Chain A
Amino acid sequence: MVLTLLLLVPALTGVVLLAVARSDRAESPGATQAVALTGSLVALLLTVVAITARPTVDVRWVPTLGVRWHLAVDGISVPLLLLTAALTVVVVVHSRGREPARDVLGERSAATFYACILLVETGALATFLARDGIVFFVAFEVVLVPMWVLIGRFGDEHLSEQTRADASGRFVLFTVLGSTLMLLGILLVTTRTGTSDLVALAAAHGAGLDRGTQVAAAVLLVVGLGIKIPLWPAHSWLPPAHTVAPTAGSVLLAAVLLKMGTYGIVRLVIPVVPDGFAAVCPYLAVVGAVATVWGGLACLVERDLKRLVAYSSVAHMGFVALGLASGTWTGLQAALFGNIAHGVVSALLFLVVGGLKERWGSADLEVARTALRDVSPRLGWSLVVGFAAALGLPGLIGFWGELLALYAAWSPAGDRPTGVFRAAVVVSLLGLGLAAAYALRVLRLVWVGGSSERWVTTLPQTGQARDASGREWAVVLLLVAATVAGGVLPRPLMATTADDARATVGQAGVSGRSGGGGR
């Protein structure tokens, strides 16, 4: 009941807002925001209730297909649910007074904007709650249309209509391709086993599926989900989407939507088709390693700050993929931790960078600007923390996921080719180095000040470069605190996922227990 309510609250709030957005009476933006905030806060509250009570819903939905409305909470989904619900509140609070496209589309568009945010939340929460393959697929698709509207309609006003349409269209088409391939994989598993219940499938650990079927299903699922994550080379939709999306959209895209891909691998692939996943793993590890380097290299030369953060996401997701591929309990823990870490850090970075873009009018790094530490020390320091976490500095949340992923991949599960994995680790170390390089590059250009050609520290202030204050500063500070807390105290988060991660790897990872025991 709580779980269904948890999905209904944001969904209905979104629908109500849409209805308001369409009515002809004048609307006050304050009331709109208040409705959205109430909806997101209630959803957060229900999430907390759901996390503590851990209820289950399991009723018939489409009996003809054997699909059940099966929702449940476990250790793996808890951090993601919390992240989703909390970040929705963050972006709703943050967006007040800066709803995009208001000048162009008029006052009433604010309601549509908030409605899209809440509908994205609904889809993400449903994805993390779903325990039925087909329900998972439907939930996976729910986020598409609202996110498409966020990017295409509320995207960067400085860009042309065509650019925005291209970016949003590319986002939708890539993701639909991914999810349809995923659907083929789900259908393959469900037609061969006769059930789409993920709990039953996970308990069976691939029993009743021959190796060929497992490999085919794993390939389809990993490729499909890999597009969503996104894994190199299917990442090309992400940078344009981030460049165009409004700050709220970027935050949700990076922190929530990308997690649905990795979560899908943990939920649909690793426990369901363990042998198939083992066969795919070496490729996944290589792809992950390449992604870390590719993303890092792209960041070294990228001029647009938002695009740069998007490429750094690609690199971070590479580490997560490496952790997943290792097949051990440690690797899975690393991936789950890295997932959350990336969610927090990318949310922080996109909030700060979005704020900077708003002040500067563009996010071009080649434009010489006054040093950030001089004009806006708060934003400046937040940016420093964000990029420090992104480069994996110990003591910040980004460190644990990447370190453990590399550690786990160095000694993967028994049935994985150790040589390939060690090579992948070596390549990823290079990626780690690149991360430090690009993080320092950005900080030198933006925080210390000066363009890459000229070191200018005393430029006349361009526009009104105000520092963060009020709501903006509050949400940024919250994320900075989370970044530090996760780095200093990784144990609570690790402990939350520990048991269920062990069950997920189960028989799949033989050396899982010995690998993870050390921690």
Chain B
Amino acid sequence: MTTFDWWLLLPVLAPVLGAVVVLVVDIAVPHVILGHYVVAGISLAIASAGAVLTLRPPVGDGRATLCLPGSGAQARTCFYSVTGVGAGLQLAALLAAAVTLLLAAPLEPRGERDRTPVTVALLLAATAGAVGVVGARDLGSWLVTLELATLPVIALAALPGTRRALAGAVQLLTTSLVSFAVLVLAAACWYAATGTPRLTAAAVLGVTGAPQKGLLALAVVLVLGGIGFKLSLVPFHAWTPTTYAGAPLPVAVFLAGVSKIAALGALLVVVSALSSLGKAALVATAVVAVASMTLGNLVALRQDDVVRLLAWSTVAQAGWVVVPLVSVSALGVRASASYLLTYVVSTLAAFSVVAVVVRVSSGRSGRSLTSYDGLVRRHPLLGGVLALALTTLAGLPPGVMGVVAKVVALRPVIAEGWWVIAVVAALNAVLGVAVYLRWFRVLVARPTDAQAQAPVTAVPLHRVAVLLTGGLLVALSVQPQLLLGLLG
């Protein structure tokens, strides 16, 4: 008999149900903006509770459900399985979705042009995809959930209908299609090599013949390429700055947070199934990681638009996220997930502050670096949180979490003896510091008189987002174990 643990599936099902309820409510009672947010909040809270339930010890090798009947642990086929790392990623994705929702809240009534239900439903659907892909253990649901995490975001990016938004959305669409094609090809190779659609270690163990092994290696490289698009790894990064800058800010936040977690979650499903990556995939990982860091940092150094700066910083940080995967082990997987979560929390904090500043300053000027002159003076909370977020991204105290994340990310690299990568990563740590201190310097500069007079005020919803992410950063900097322990 097939097992079905509903609470294990709760993190996936709750957002989906939430999306459906939002759409139904919109039909029944139009123009109830607040209601949609309440529904979304409740569904995310239920989903988080499910993830926390999954995390409760003992997690062991993970909890599985949707298992087909079979004799013995080896023969059992489960279609959904969450490890400690997976549940940690799910929790982070739900939190990132909640912050995105806070920032996406419409603050001015827009009457007939209001798109709240659509926005909220799309956000919830994409979140369900991101959470689901972490647990997917067969090619079909893996591909479907991964695309579910991507496609709604394209719609969200295009919703404003402006030229810039459409340009960004089209680029994201094209990229996603290419990425999907590559991933489908990867899935085909995987199926041909292993003879089973299952993404498990047992499936890989069955591969014996030389041609099959070659096909499997090809599948892994293709997966890396396909996921590379979503993670903004060089050379698949080109869409990132255009889309971030063109899309509404909350969509950029979603892309930087939930989408990245979905992409890494999908990658880790495949990596966890392998006992070794094979030489081609290892070299590809190393080259892609190093290229991402270097190019991302170098271009970010020259950005004056903070959203573009954060976009290029995403490219650079994506390199740091995949660099631990040169060690195909539980160590590498955990390190990669830890680094990603650190990046997500600090980027969300930075974006929350940017959202406030953009709202206060008229037009697009809130996105230029000069709008942040003396922010620590003008608004201590915003300035402080942004300063902490930037130092975390740079890996400098007081952002101790960022320092620990760098340690975590470099440890597998050193353990495997990849010296060239380690030294290039060290150089990139320096470049990264240059990137973020450039922004930090603006924060502690003297505000111009006009700026000093114009007060910076955050609306309550934004304030909650800033406090939530900022508080999380402070807690993690005092006790990094909170995050590392979450991932087992």
Residues of A within 8 A of B (CB): 19, 22-23, 60-65, 104-105, 108, 123, 134, 137-138, 141-142, 144-145, 148-149, 152-153, 165, 169, 172-173, 176-177, 180-181, 183-184, 187-188, 190-191, 216
**Residue from B414, B425, B485 within 8 A of A188 (CB atoms):** B414
Asked if A144 contacts B396 (CB within 8 A), the reply is yes
Least CB distance from B302 to A in Å reads 15
**Residue from A141, A188, A191 within 8 A of B397 (CB atoms):** A141
Asked if B404 contacts A65 (CB within 8 A), the reply is yes
Given A180-B426, A184-B414, decide whether A65 and B408 contact each other with a Cβ distance below 8 A. yes
Asked if A181 contacts B446 (CB within 8 A), the reply is no
Count of A-B residue pairs with CB < 8 Å: 98
Question: Of all chain A residues, which has the CB nearest B482?
Answer: A62
**Residue from B411, B434, B440 within 8 A of A173 (CB atoms):** B434
Given A64-B484, A104-B446, decide whether A142 and B407 contact each other with a Cβ distance below 8 A. no
Q: Mark B467-481, 1 if CB is under 8 A from A, else 0.
A: 000000000000111
Whether B76 is near chain A, meaning CB under 8 Å from some CB there, is no
Asked if B481 contacts A64 (CB within 8 A), the reply is yes
Asked if A184 contacts B423 (CB within 8 A), the reply is yes
Whether B63 is near chain A, meaning CB under 8 Å from some CB there, is no
Asked if B485 contacts A63 (CB within 8 A), the reply is yes
Asked if B406 contacts A183 (CB within 8 A), the reply is yes
A169 to B441, CA, bound (A): 10
A217 to B201, CA, bound (A): 36
Interface size of B by CB at 8 A reads: 41
Question: Of all chain B residues, which has the CB nearest A152?
Answer: B441
- Residue pairs across A and B with Cβ atoms less than 8 A apart, 11 shown, are A64-B334, A137-B407, A141-B396, A141-B403, A144-B397, A145-B396, A152-B441, A169-B437, A177-B426, A177-B427, A187-B410
Asked if A184 contacts B426 (CB within 8 A), the reply is yes
Asked if A62 contacts B404 (CB within 8 A), the reply is yes
Q: Which residues of A contact B38 (CB under 8 A)?
A: none
Whether B430 is near chain A, meaning CB under 8 Å from some CB there, is yes
A144 to B444, CA, bound (A): 15
Given A63-B481, A141-B396, decide whether A153 and B410 contact each other with a Cβ distance below 8 A. no
A172 to B437, CA, bound (A): 9
Residues of B within 8 A of A (CB): 334, 376-377, 380, 383-384, 391, 396-398, 400, 403-404, 406-408, 410-411, 414-415, 419, 422-423, 425-427, 429-430, 433-434, 437, 440-441, 444, 446, 479-481, 484-485, 487
Q: Which residues of A contact B376 (CB under 8 A)?
A: 22
Least CB distance from B156 to A in Å reads 36
A514 to B430, CA, bound (A): 44
Main secondary structure of the interface of A (DSSP, over half): helix
Given A177-B427, A180-B426, decide whether A137 and B403 contact each other with a Cβ distance below 8 A. yes
A172 to B440, CA, bound (A): 13
Q: Which residues of A contact B481 (CB under 8 A)?
A: 60-64
Question: Of all chain A residues, which has the CB nearest B487?
Answer: A64
Least CB distance from A223 to B in Å reads 10
Asked if B397 contacts A153 (CB within 8 A), the reply is no
Given A64-B485, A145-B398, A187-B414, decide whether A173 and B380 contact each other with a Cβ distance below 8 A. no
Q: Which residues of A contact B422 (CB under 8 A)?
A: 184
A22 to B377, CA, bound (A): 5
Asked if A149 contacts B411 (CB within 8 A), the reply is no
Q: Which residues of A contact B425 (CB under 8 A)?
A: 180
Asked if B380 contacts A62 (CB within 8 A), the reply is no
Q: A19-B380, A62-B481, A64-B334 are in contact. List 10 more A-B contacts (CB 8 A).
A: A22-B380, A22-B383, A62-B404, A65-B404, A123-B397, A176-B430, A177-B427, A183-B406, A183-B410, A184-B414
Least CB distance from B473 to A in Å reads 15
Q: Which residues of B contact A216 (CB under 8 A)?
A: 419
A42 to B426, CA, bound (A): 38
Question: Of all chain B residues, which has the CB nearest A123?
Answer: B397
A90 to B391, CA, bound (A): 30
Q: Which residues of A contact B414 (CB under 8 A)?
A: 184, 187-188, 191
Q: Which residues of B contact A165 (CB under 8 A)?
A: 441
Asked if A65 contacts B407 (CB within 8 A), the reply is yes
